[in-house]
Amino acid sequence: MNWDHYMEKRRKPLSEKGLREKISQILKEVDVVISWKMGFDPIHATPHFIRDEKEIEESVFNVFCVHNLTTYLPFMKEKVGIVVKGCDSRTLVQFIQEGLITRENLKIIGIPCSGVVDVKKIMEEIGESPVLQAEILDNSSLKIRTLDGEKFFQIDSVLAQKCKTCRYPTPLIYDHLIGEPIKSQIGWDKAYEDVTEFDKKTLEEKLSFWKKEFEKCIRCYACRNACPLCVCQDRCIAESRDPHFVSQKLELPEKFMFHFIHAIHLAGRCVECGECERACPMGIPVKMMKKKINYEMKQLFDYETGINVDDKPPMYTFKVEEEKIKEHEL
């Protein structure tokens, strides 16, 4: 696939200084600002909770800032400032639709984003050796030095899967915007091409595909806990004894049960931020199931998650007569 002209503006350099100044400004109005700083090695960023002026210096924004920081919001009682990319902002919109956050207690810094990298892909290409240094060269390539030597990557070739079909590079909700807005050229059909392609497989092929993927699943629940919209984590059906639907065996039926229920619980709520797939240590494409359900949501209810704060998630309401569900037909 040629991903070349999918962005109107390619990878504009972001003023990190501008970002830090803005954080400093809103820190006066809130108790904590959630941003990113560099993590345990040069290709990992990590969420950074800033409560003090001194801590602003460390904050960064680059292609390694893959995390969806909004996941912390539903459990925080303080006044919070947060930095969001386009995909993250959809989570905020969805939170507001569901009443999971109070907009007045939130100060949002939006950053139009040209895409982040798939760190796992980079690590696979690099091999075992740890990364000693990483440099972003003229916003389009990475130079990574390990104990084995140097390796160059075109950022587009290691871009996260979700970024290749991103339709909302510019945050949909913000108090301050750092940088020029970016428009996407990807249409809805293109974005869901992977779903429609997969749908062409036979039932046997699909079952065989998922059986193979879920063999790897270790029921660690990283996908569940990384999901910002999954707020019933502490009382999850996968571990509940009352009601008792799933046993603690590590077998396919149990794994299917958990994953399918998780996906259904997110129907009309998943904003496709991709954190579930990123968190999975076994590389299982869990996002695809939720994407498929979002596809169906659009067909049935003409609804897309996380776009307008005034929308009502279709699973939260009902109409006596649904336009597209022919329930009275035999």
Partner 1 sequence: MGRNGFLRKDRLEAYLNNLSKKGGLYVPKEEKGAIVFRKYSGVSELSLKKPATTPAKSIIYLQSETFFRFMFEKEGNGLDKVNVRIQENMDQEIRIIFGARPCDAKGFSVIDRVFIDTDTQDVYYKKRRENSYIATKSCDSPSSGCFCISVGGGPFDEEGSDAQFTEINGGYLIEAITEKGNIFLESELLEPGETYLEEKRKRKEEVERLVKEYCERVGKIEPLSPKLRLFSDEDFWKKHLSKCLSCGVCTYLCPTCYCFNITDEKTFYEGERIRSWDSCMFFHFTLEASGHNPRPDKFKRFRNRVGHKFMFYPERYSGQIACCGCGRCVRFCPVSVDIREIVLELMKSEEGGRE
Identify the residue among 100, 222, 237, 257 touching partner 1 (CB under 8 A).
Answer: 222
Of 135 and 322, the one with the shorter C-beta distance to partner 1 is 135
| CA–CA dist 108, 254 (Å, integer) | 40
- Contact mark string toward partner 1, 263..292, x via CB under 8 A: ------------x--xx-xxxx--------
Handedness of CA 20, 25, 27, 30 (dihedral sign): negative
| CA–CA dist 166, 157 (Å, integer) | 15
- Contact mark string toward partner 1, 144..173, x via CB under 8 A: ---xx-------------------------
- Contact between 46 and partner 1 per CB under 8 A: yes
Residue 199 corresponds to which amino acid? D
Strands annotated E in the chain:
32-38, 45-50, 59-60, 80-84, 106-110, 131-137, 141-146, 149-154, 176-177
Identify the residue among 239, 300, 303, 307 touching partner 1 (CB under 8 A).
Answer: 239
Nearest approach, Cβ of 17 to partner 1 (angstroms)? 24
- Minimal CA–CA distance to 171: which of 226, 97, 230, 108? 108
- Contact between 250 and partner 1 per CB under 8 A: yes
Name the DSSP letter for residue 155.
Answer: G
Residue 174 corresponds to which amino acid? Y
Applying CB under 8 A, the span of 20-28, 241-249, 256-264, 286-294 interacting with partner 1 comes to 241-249
CA angle at 309 for the pair 62 and 167, rounded to the nearest 5°? 45
Of 125 and 296, the one with the shorter C-beta distance to partner 1 is 125
Of 76 and 177, the one with the shorter C-beta distance to partner 1 is 76
Of 155 and 226, the one with the shorter C-beta distance to partner 1 is 226
Task: With CB under 8 A as the rule, give the number of residues binding partner 1.
Answer: 49
Identify the residue among 3, 24, 25, 41 touching partner 1 (CB under 8 A).
Answer: 41
- Contact between 67 and partner 1 per CB under 8 A: yes
Of 60 and 222, the one with the shorter C-beta distance to partner 1 is 222
Other C-beta atoms within 10 Å of 155: how many? Answer: 20
| CA–CA dist 125, 128 (Å, integer) | 9
User: Which pair of structure tokens corresponds to residue 317?
Assistant: 């309401």
- Minimal CA–CA distance to 261: which of 226, 235, 290? 290
Which stretches of the chain bind partner 1, using CB under 8 A?
39-41, 44-49, 67, 71-72, 120, 123, 127-131, 147-148, 213, 215-216, 218-222, 224-226, 233-235, 239, 241, 247-251, 275, 278-279, 281-284
